[in-house]
Structure 1
Amino acid sequence: MARTPAPAPSGDELLKVLAALGNPHRLRIVAALHQGRNYVSRLAREIGMSRPLLHMHLQRLEAAGLITGSLELSADGKAMKFYEVVSFRYELTPELIAEVARTLGDGDGEPEGEPPGKDKARTGKPETVKEEAT
């Protein structure tokens, strides 16, 4: 039976994945989780990272859809969050990049094709218009 290829990600989805994997700590986390599911405290010890920093990286990876987390109770009733890698495969080609680029917004918060106001381009805030008294 032939396997149906997965649909191409949107431009924003691809950027989220590439940003998540563009960090050496997150690559190490994915590599460690590839060995099997793990809970936060043990994973932090195994890769030599503080739990708060690990949590931040795990959130980024989970938001990108590369890992998934589930809360479970241990035998003594302690809540433990386990993470595991989600099966994924991305084949980056010029054709894929051209396809997903068409789905990207301008990145400035304005609808596609709308130029930002002068002030917004400089400060990131919308332009304010003052009326002169006549």
Structure 2
Amino acid sequence: MNVEQLSATLAAVASPQRMLILTELSAGRVHVSELARRVGMSRALLYMHLAKLEATGFVTTALELSPEGTALKHVSLAPFSLTVDIAVITQAVANAATTHE
């Protein structure tokens, strides 16, 4: 992991709203509209947060057809483990230093 990736990962989980989204998804896959209701935010705002979480690998999304033929977007928590210690930070900085030389 380089510095940019580490920064993006940390920024993705640094938001209280995104932490709430991750917590809600720990119970299982959910439709976007239902998730928006559960976390108390508009779908537009939820989509913004989901984009950051998906870009950093914390969630996945999938379109599915309802029995009525409507496209429904579902969100799932991706398996992840996040450890940040001095070794991770040092390695990220070292990776950045070697790519800039």
On whether the aligned pair clears a TM of 0.5, the verdict is: yes
Q: Which amino acid aligns with 1:55?
A: Y
Q: Which residue of 2 aligns with 1:42?
A: 34
- 1:1-134 equivalent positions in 2, closer than 5 A: 9-104=1-96, 112=100
Say which structure is richer in helix: 2
What TM-score do the two structures reach when normalised by structure 2? 0.91
**TM-score, normalised on structure 1?**
0.70
Structure 2 unpaired stretches of 5+: none
Give the 4+ runs in structure 1 shifted more than 4 A: none
* Coordinate RMSD, CA, aligned: 1.5
CA distance in 2 between counterparts of 1:19 and 1:88 reads 15
Higher relative contact order (CA 8 A, sep 6+): 2
SS of 2:57's equivalent in the other structure is coil
Aligned residue pairs total: 100
Query: Percent identity over the alignment?
Result: 38
SS at match of 2:96: coil
d(CA) in 1 for partners of 2:4, 2:78: 19
Q: Deviations over 1:39-81 (max 9, x none)?
A: 1111001111001000000001000111000110011111011
AA in 1 matched with 2:88: L
1:98 aligned partner, one-letter code: T
State the shift of 1:21 in Å.
0.4
